[in-house]
Amino acid sequence: MDAGMMEEQEHLEELLRQIREKLDTVEAAITAGDQEIENMHTYYWENYTEMDEYGYENYDNQQALLSQVNANEEQRLIRHRLRRMLDSPYFARVDFRYAGESVPESYYIGIANFARQAGAVPLIFDWRAPVSGLFYDYDKGPAAFETPGGTVTGEITSKRQYQIKHGKLLYAFESDIKIDDDILKAELGSNSDVKLKNIVRTIQREQNRIIRNTKDRILVVQGAAGSGKTSIALHRIAYLLYHDRNQLQASNVLVLTPNGVFADYISRILPELGEENVNEMSFDLFAYKELKDVAEDCEDKYDAIEAMLAEEPAYEERYHYKGSRAFAEAINRFVLELESELVDFRDVSYQKLSISKEKICRLFYEKFPETPLLSRMKMVMDYAVDETETLTGRDFNEEELYFIREIFMGLYRTRDLYELYNCFLEREGLQTLPDQVREERKIPYEDVWPMLYMKYQLETVRKRQRIRHLVIDEMQDYSYLQYLVIDKLFSCKMTILGDFAQTIDGEMQDVTAFLPQIFGKDLSFISMRKSYRNTYEIGRYANSLIGNTEIELLKRHGAEPVELQFSMMEEALAEVIKRVKNYETMAVICMSAAEAWIAYEWLTARVKAYPVHYLDKNSSRFQSGITVTTFYLAKGLEFDQVFAIYEQDTDTPLYRQAKYIAATRALHELYMFVLES
């Protein structure tokens, strides 16, 4: 071992010693805290009968207990972080000479800060700290970083990268940030995992600009497949949580995810970065809950995709039209027409409450014109009730208010959204939904979002004020009308990301063209053209499927993709068994759910060396072994080895994009199996 490595090893061992000392202190604090909590419980049960009658002592005891529990929880989080740091305390070092100084300062960078004691200068700096930006943004030479006090300038005299595992220094070398450096290739060349990994050791300059962006209210990222969009979004959230603790907590962040498996796949990153997991939600599931009072069930997006795969051109045409700006405007016109049609005005009298038809009409149109139509009569009712209670000096009880509410709501000719939506479809000359009672209704997916949009045009919408940052992944799969709904629900900062080349409902959709029409001009657009996931050979092949020549590829080389033709699905699956390797994750990706199920059953009966999993829309976990699924459920995931099976004579836009999505899932090996018709 040379002198430089010996020095690095000694530094690492000294840091690990101090981390262990700190860990011992934390362990002792946790033990003492647990004992204190036990003592508090004992004291309470021995003395609660003698506590003062007003409950002050009881309250003080409860508050003291809560404070101690919270303190212990904080210590446990510190313990968890320190234990992780014992495995790999840092991954980089930057030597920075401040302007006007002669000797550089050394800054070690890791997952979290570490200092000997609170308030001391850290021995290891969190990757999100301002000074850590030097590592990601600059090569050797002039550099600067932002602090609360302003811009600090100077010169980077040295940059080092480390590989430390289980507390052992595997290597350390001088490094400038180059996109195809050895560490990046080594990270990307390793096997895939069933959870998305953090990328703090390999964040690239263009990625870092997105992660550390705090000035833009709405940041829209168009990124090529494999550019790290989802990882970047989650690292960005971790960065924002770190820098704005007073205003932003994990509970204030919401990620719109396509399905439960994807949510499971991304669930490890934030805890690895020292943050709590944020809220995640399927937007479709949200819509179904909002329409639960309208219909018993709703189709989902995957039903729509299956219909498109069955080559139902009329369905695809309707589907796209019903998500368009033109359809939203047609709904708006219909809602305006309802202003003069929906209410049957008449006198209302109940006990001492008496209000004329003319006054109700005047209040409805003149006093509350800005209130949505189906919420407006409630405002009129409240006005009439308040006026009567003031004049009579007596408040109505709950039972009386119930009857009054029924009378006023009965002035609407109908409040059934399903009926109103059918009336709209009929006026537009479109096929109406079956005339059924609520318990028998199932809303087609093409009508789910238009119906929800109509609901929000007719009823008061409660803004989700608790959400202060919204992340929208796979932005290309949301329609114009869905973004209108999002705008009605959220007024917070947003990170919106996706890839128009991976649209899964027909023609590619570049939503950046219409987002300013919905959210205003307060948007910043960033394009990421560099792909890091696939080998150069796989990336080049995938780009040829969609004729894209603008995507830059990392020159990490591997085997050429293999194209083979088969006359039957069973022959293709037999070839899968011959070629499958002992990777962490392998995938058989089919076009439709029916094909995927056939493949799953066939492989399950014959493959014993690896676990075989069927991933469908109801799945909630991504597991190691062979995953059999469809292209639309594989989107967002990655696998070491991919076998895509598709039909030869299908050259629709949807199938081209499906093949592209399947191809770009592969890290190391790609097989494209064509079934001859």
Is 123's pLDDT higher than 70?
yes
Residue range 610-639, pLDDT digits in tens: 999 999 988 988 899 999 999 999 998 999
CB 377 within 8 A of CB 408: yes
pLDDT of residue 31: 92
Q: Tell me what the pLDDT averaged over the chain comes to.
A: 90
pLDDT-wise least confident of 56-60, 110-114, 457-461, 528-532? 56-60
**Token duo for residue 604:** 């399950």
Determine the residue type at 290.
Answer: E
Residue range 351-389, pLDDT digits in tens: 999 999 999 999 999 999 999 999 999 999 999 999 999
**Long-range CB contacts (within 8 A, 24+) of 488-492:** 488/456, 488/461, 488/463, 489/461, 489/463, 489/464, 490/463, 490/464, 491/463, 491/465, 492/464, 492/467, 492/468
Is 177's pLDDT higher than 60?
no
Closest by CA position to 339, among listed 385, 314, 374, 381: 374
Q: Give the model's confidence band at 265: pLDDT under 50 very low, under 70 low, under 90 confident, else very high.
A: confident
* Mean pLDDT score, 82-97: 93
Is 401's pLDDT higher than 50?
yes
Closest by CA position to 226, among listed 639, 672, 526: 639
Closest by CA position to 469, among listed 164, 234, 139: 234
Q: With pLDDT > 90 as the criterion, what percentage of the chain qualifies?
A: 63
Cα 328 from Cα 450, distance rounded (Å)? 7
Residue pointed to by tokens 């962006």: 213
pLDDT of residue 649: 66
Residue 421 CB contacts under 8 Å (≥ 6 apart), including other chains: 433, 447, 450, 451, 454
Residue range 295-338, pLDDT digits in tens: 999 999 988 888 888 877 778 889 899 999 999 999 999 999 99
pLDDT of residue 72: 87
* Mean pLDDT score, 33-53: 79
Cα 386 from Cα 371, distance rounded (Å)? 18
Cα 276 from Cα 269, distance rounded (Å)? 10
Is 51's pLDDT higher than 80?
no
Residue pointed to by tokens 């609660």: 48
Cα 552 from Cα 430, distance rounded (Å)? 45
Largest CA distance in the chain: 97
Residue range 289-302, pLDDT digits in tens: 999 999 999 999 98
Which H helix or E strand runs over 421?
helix 417-427
Ramachandran area for residue 216 (φ above 0: left; ψ -120 to 50: alpha; else beta): beta
Is 53's pLDDT higher than 80?
no
